[in-house]
Amino acid sequence: MAATDMDRVTVNDAIELAARAPSVHNSQPWRWLIGDDSVHLMADWSRQVPATDPQGRDLLISCGAALHHLRVAFAALGYATLVHRIPNPATPDHLAAVEFVSAEPSREDVALASAITRRRTDRRAYSSWPVPAELLDLLVERAAHEGVIAIPVTDTDARYRLAVAMELAAERQQRDPEYAAEIAQWSGRSRVSTDGVPAVAAPAGSEHHGDTRMRTFTGGELRESPVRRGEPDAGELIVLATPGDDALSRLRAGEAASAVLLTATELGLASCPLSQAVEVADSRILIRDTVLDGAAIPQLVLRVGWAPTSAEPLPASARRAVADISATL
């Protein structure tokens, strides 16, 4: 069925859900072009955060997450999608062309679409309840369906090496004055801001959750949930990795990140993307060589776990309006 057979309101609704995807600093670096029988995902390089993401790795991963959100949204609305990724190498901003075919939504389609509006980036400490192995296996399976390797780092030695790489990246970035200025620009936003990291969604000051170094944002106001003193944080770390490191690999990694995060939300898990460790070349290489045994390229780290029962609900971060991120071809 062609896009012209769809109500434009339906197309806009799908794009609105796609815009709920996580992105580096909530920069939302995407645009959508709507054709007669397709929707096209374009990278918006004007929204790159160069001190954090000098190579545009995070930007492409963010766009991949939005692409998967769009696919999920259309599936729940009764349309399977045929995606042509990087359809024209001569036009690198054109990341995907999406066509549609009528299809009955599955229960999984509806559940994942419902998770889009409930997913939050939860930067707080998680509870001491372990994540069952069968749930981690499901997250790995969902990433594999997107062509990406997901590695839960459950081995003690590998987890230590990952933590070292995350510390290295954080220390390198925090010594960079341009990075500090960029973080200040994109964080501490008010509730009504349509981009950036809201103050209510970021902890105040530097945070460690167990062995895991979290990114430090300025102007954070998020309070930790009350937990029993001495209770360990049982959050799991999952590395998303790809055999290659080209634009297609990064786009795919973003789609897998979306699949894992939405599945985690569906399962009742809290989650948080941790891109800092792969933004610095030395720490990225360290993860590749000491955690992945040189077999794949790390693209993103995801943290998942159970939120404490005392955790207050997190507000949804605002997003740019559909009219600001889409246009008709």
Q: Tens-of-pLDDT digits for all 329 residues of the chain?
A: 444 456 888 999 999 999 999 999 999 999 999 998 899 999 999 999 999 999 999 999 999 999 999 999 999 999 999 999 999 989 999 999 999 999 999 999 999 999 999 999 999 999 999 999 999 999 999 999 999 999 999 999 999 999 999 999 999 999 999 999 999 999 999 988 999 999 999 988 768 999 999 999 999 999 887 765 568 999 999 999 999 999 999 999 999 999 999 999 999 999 999 999 999 999 999 999 999 999 999 999 999 999 999 899 999 999 999 999 999 98
pLDDT of residue 191: 87
Q: How far is CA 205 from CA 11, 51, 96, 146, 188, in A?
A: 41, 20, 38, 35, 12
Count other C-beta atoms under 10 Å from residue 192's C-beta.
Answer: 7
243 burial type by CB count under 10 A (0-12 exposed, 13-18 middle, 19+ buried): exposed
Joined tokens for residue 235: 């959050």
pTM for the full predicted model: 0.96
Between CA 302 and CA 283 the distance in angstroms is 16
What is the pLDDT at residue 1?
43
Q: What is the arrangement of strands in the sheet containing 326-328, beginning at the earlier edge strand?
A: 79-85, 94-102, 39-43, 30-34, 326-328
Domains with residue ranges and CATH for the chain: 3-119+317-328 (3.40.109.10), 133-305 (3.40.109.10)
- Find tokens 């960029």 and name the residue: 182
Phi-psi region of 57 (alpha: psi -120 to 50; beta: other; left: phi over 0): alpha
